[in-house]
């Protein structure tokens, strides 16, 4: 992923050109790589402008070479873009903890719901899943099958009252003593006013502790406006990037993070239920830059 | 600003400005016939055909006489390419922001370069508009690949008493199953009832999903339990269609990452067993640079006859259309523009160009 950045770093450190020329060359390479990775064009320009400004203004501390200092700046700015140095806290802050899943059609919400159920179950929590996607045919069956496979509580109702199902599902799960309650909702995008309203209504009704935005790694330039709209409707608490097992670079998801300020908590790396990892931004950026663990 | 692209643009600008200079020289040369011959021969050697053509044009102009030529210089002027540089840069950004893959945007600039060569514009005409029109044309030419009308194909198959087999494929979550339902609805409305084959025997809920669609639309469906061989499901559906006199079979397949070798082999097996007339790749319009990778992988592994782009209503500009057309040179057949059954429209290149570039 983002191998171009690593190449650019190598070239930069080896370059015999003067500092300013090398910085300019590096910044150009970085822009190209980020755009190719679907990071929002405007964000790329912002990011590289900041890197350039810092690189030409800031003085390295005694002992450090200017070039090493520059790589540190790039590392910091990229890490910021991914949500900073903080590792996400995946432990629920209270019990019961209600998570509401949102995202565009086909981004992997239902599968991720199943994976999350497994993640928490393995860690000893009593988990319940609520199927409130009343729109997509087969969606409730899909979640039921996943719940059975993982072995967790499951609630749904026939009919299309998504708000009611979510509300009664959460109440039911609480009575059953569930510690983690995950509500799966229908896929929607930012031009579907009715569905956004429904999302808002569900959130109002169940008052989730965490709204999780599920984003497909292959999403392109629409990631930014999309995340903005979702965030405006129900403030996003965390992000999951799915399908990182393909060739997509996940840059679109980055843009979404930058917009909402929410941390990326998990990444999905396959279709199987255990293919979910906690996301560590610091490690991730270090890997991109080819720096090893910092 | 944009690395390689900017370099390409700079090359473009310098190349064309050089050429403009050469042309001006020649115009002067024409007025001094003695030197003309020598220089011309030399240049023809150097630059061959294209220049010969230009020289021919110049000769024509000389024939027109001095007065006409003066008039022409008054009315027309060369494009000032240096001034156009920021405009071209703006278009590059515009294209990448519309999710045209970076490498495709680069290629497009190359094509664009060809079109701008030797372009003359009327005085008083808007340069930006000329450039924009040239860009529109370049994009239109790239995506104007005629593809089959599935309704017409189905009618033909029915008339000839054979079965039209259409297989749908794509990565996870692009909207294959919903698209199949839409195609089924479109065919049924045209008077041809298709048979659906639920050959996604992998994903939880996939069979139920297609079954519910089949019920709502009122078309038959052939299913097998989860874990069954997808090729067997597809094969059974074709046998079913043969026995009951249906003329179209639509095969749903499991979503798969194009880099997953086992699943790609499975897909190849389905294709081998049923020999589909059309292998249709379903692509999500929200996809960015990865659209190129997906198209290329599926085309190389299984072969793609046409593409359906979904979720275009999500305000996606659908630059993926361009990425696909440029990469695998296959037609875009339909666009999905919503979750209703009627939300499937024929792809129209000129409509698309307008959407991509705006007014």
Q: What percent of chain A has pLDDT over 70?
A: 96
Q: What share of chain A in percent tops pLDDT 90?
A: 46
Amino acid B71: pLDDT: 64
**CATH code for residues B3-143:** 1.20.120.140
The mean pLDDT value for A105-125 works out to: 95
pLDDT tens string B219-240: 999 999 998 999 999 999 999 9
Mean pLDDT of chain B: 80
Nearest to A105 among B207, B311, B315 (CB): B311
Report how far residue B329's alpha carbon sits from residue A202's, in angstroms, rounded to the nearest whole number.
45
Residue of A nearest to B171 (CA): A246
Kindly tell me if the per-residue pLDDT of B5 is higher than 70.
no
Instruction: Give me Rg for the CA atoms of chain B.
Output: 27
Of B152, B273, B245, B249, give the one whose Cα is nearest residue B194. Answer: B249
Question: pLDDT tens digits for A234-247?
Answer: 999 899 999 888 77
> Where is average pLDDT lowest: A12-21, B237-246, B256-265?
B256-265
Please tell me the least confidently modeled range out of A48-57, B91-100, B219-228, B294-303.
B91-100
Give the span between the Cα atoms of B317 and B356, in whole angstroms.
6
Higher pLDDT, B137 or B26: B137
Contacts of B265 (CB under 8 A, 6+ apart): none
| pLDDT at residue A262 greater than cutoff 80 | yes
Subunit contact B209:A138, Cβ cutoff 8 A: yes
Q: CA-to-CA distance for A151 and A137, rounded, in angstroms?
A: 23
Tens of pLDDT along B37-59? 444 444 444 445 555 555 566 55
pLDDT of residue A293: 44
pLDDT score of A259: 81
More confident: A85 or B249: B249
- The closest CB to that of A222, out of B205, B258, B315, belongs to B315
The answer to whether residue A85 scores a pLDDT higher than 50 is yes
Q: Which pLDDT score, from 0 to 100, does residue B75 have?
A: 67
Nearest CA in chain A to B6: A28
Shortest Cα distance from A145 to chain B (angstroms)?
A: 6
Least confident span in A32-46, A141-155, B164-178, B196-210? A32-46
| C-beta atoms of B258 and A247 within 8 A | yes
**What's the pLDDT at B67?**
60
Residue B34 pLDDT greater than 50, yes or no: no
Quickly state the pLDDT bin for B9 (edges 50, 70, 90).
very low
The residue in chain B having the minimum alpha-carbon distance to the alpha carbon of residue A252 is: B288
Q: CA B210 to CA B203: how far, in whole Å?
A: 12
- Distance, CA of B91 to CA of B105 (rounded, Å): 9
CATH of the structural domain B150-348, one choice from 3.90.226.10, 3.40.50.300, 3.40.50.2300, 3.40.50.720 = 3.40.50.300
Q: Is B220 exposed, middle or buried (0-12, 13-18, 19+ CB in 10 A)?
A: middle
Beta-carbon separation of B319 and A220 below 8 A:
yes
Cβ distance A218 to B287 less than 8 Å, yes or no, reads: yes
| pTM confidence score | 0.76
Whether residues A216 and B260 touch (CB distance < 8 A) is answered with no
Which residue ranges make up each domain of chain B? Answer: 3-143, 150-348
Shortest CB distance from A220 goes to which of B99, B175, B211?
Answer: B99
Tens digit of pLDDT for each residue in A148-190?
999 999 999 999 899 999 999 999 999 999 999 999 999 888 7
Judge whether B3-143 and B150-348 match in fold. no
**Residue A216 zone, left/alpha/beta (φ > 0; ψ -120 to 50; rest):** beta
Q: How far is B174 from chain A (nearest CA, A)?
A: 6
User: Is B2 in Cβ contact with A104 (below 8 Å)?
Assistant: no
Q: What share of chain A is helix, strand, coil (3-state, %, to 5)?
A: 50, 15, 35
pLDDT at B28 over 50: no
Q: Which positions of B make up the binding site for GTP? A: 170-177, 252-256, 310-313
* Chain A residue closest in CA terms to B261: A246
Contact B258 A246 (CB under 8 A): yes
* ipTM attached to this prediction: 0.73
Shortest Cα distance, chain B CAs vs residue A101, angstroms: 16
């Amino acid at each position: 992923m983002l191998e171009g950045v690593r190449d650019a770093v190598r070239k930069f450190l080896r370059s015999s050109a003067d500092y300013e020329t090398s910085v300019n060359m590096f910044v150009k390479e970085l822009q190209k790589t980020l755009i190719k990775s679907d990071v929002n064009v405007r964000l790329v320009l912002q990011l590289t402008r900041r890197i350039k400004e810092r690189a030409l203004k800031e003085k390295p501390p005694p002992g450090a070479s200017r070039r090493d200092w520059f790589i540190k700046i790039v590392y910091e700015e990229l890490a910021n873009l991914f949500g900073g140095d903080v590792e996400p806290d995946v432990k629920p802050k209270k019990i019961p903890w209600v998570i509401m899943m949102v995202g565009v059609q086909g981004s992997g919400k239902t599968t991720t719901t199943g994976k999350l159920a497994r993640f928490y179950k393995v860690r000893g929590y009593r988990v319940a899943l609520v199927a409130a996607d009343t729109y997509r045919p087969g969606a409730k069956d899909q979640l039921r099958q996943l719940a059975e496979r993982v072995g967790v509580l499951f609630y749904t109702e026939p009919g299309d009252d998504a708000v009611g199902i979510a509300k009664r599902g959460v109440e039911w799960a609480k009575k059953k003593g569930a510690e983690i309650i995950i509500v799966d909702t229908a896929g929607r995008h930012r031009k579907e006013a009715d569905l956004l309203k429904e999302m808002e209504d569900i959130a109002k009704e169940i008052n989730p502790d965490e709204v999780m935005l599920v984003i497909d790694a292959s999403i392109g330039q629409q990631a930014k406006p999309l995340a903005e709209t979702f965030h405006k409707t129900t403030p996003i608490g965390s992000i999951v990037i799915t399908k990182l097992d393909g060739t997509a670079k996940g840059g679109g998801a980055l843009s979404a993070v930058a917009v909402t300020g929410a941390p990326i908590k998990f990444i999905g790396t396959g279709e199987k239920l255990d293919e979910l990892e906690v996301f560590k931004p610091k490690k991730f950026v270090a890997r991109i830059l080819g720096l090893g663990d910092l | 600003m944009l690395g390689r692209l900017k370099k390409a643009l700079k090359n473009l600008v310098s190349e064309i400005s050089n050429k403009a200079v050469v042309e001006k020289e020649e115009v002067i040369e024409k007025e001094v016939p003695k030197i003309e011959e020598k220089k011309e021969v030399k240049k023809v050697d150097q630059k061959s055909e294209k220049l010969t053509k230009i020289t021919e044009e110049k000769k024509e102009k000389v024939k027109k006489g001095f007065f006409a030529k003066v008039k022409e210089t008054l009315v027309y002027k060369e494009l000032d390419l240096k001034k156009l540089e920021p405009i071209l840069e703006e278009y590059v950004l515009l294209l990448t922001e519309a999710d045209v893959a970076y490498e495709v945007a680069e290629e497009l600039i190359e094509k664009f370069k060809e079109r701008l060569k030797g372009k003359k514009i009327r005085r008083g005409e808007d340069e930006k508009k000329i450039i924009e029109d040239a860009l529109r044309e370049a994009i239109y030419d790239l995506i104007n690949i005629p593809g089959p009308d599935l309704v017409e194909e189905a009618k033909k198959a029915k008339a000839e008493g054979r079965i039209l087999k259409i297989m749908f494929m794509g990565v996870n979550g692009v909207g294959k199953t919903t698209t199949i339902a839409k195609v089924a609805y479109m065919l049924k409305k045209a008077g041809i009832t298709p048979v659906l084959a639920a050959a996604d025997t992998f994903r939880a809920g996939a069979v139920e999903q297609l079954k519910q669609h089949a019920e709502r639309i009122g078309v038959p469906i052939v299913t097998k339990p989860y874990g069954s061989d997808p090729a067997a499901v597809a094969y059974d559906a074709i046998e079913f269609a043969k026995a009951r006199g249906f003329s179209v079979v639509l095969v749903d397949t499991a979503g798969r990452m194009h880099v997953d070798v086992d699943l790609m082999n499975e897909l190849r097996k389905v294709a081998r067993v049923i020999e589909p007339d059309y292998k249709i790749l379903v692509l999500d319009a929200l996809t960015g640079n990865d659209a190129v990778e997906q198209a290329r992988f599926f085309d190389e592994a299984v072969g793609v006859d046409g593409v359906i782009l979904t979720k275009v209503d999500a305000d996606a500009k659908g630059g993926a259309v361009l990425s696909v057309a440029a990469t695998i040179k296959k037609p875009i057949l339909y666009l999905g523009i919503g979750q209703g059954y009627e939300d499937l429209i024929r792809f129209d290149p000129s409509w698309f160009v307008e959407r991509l570039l705006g007014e």
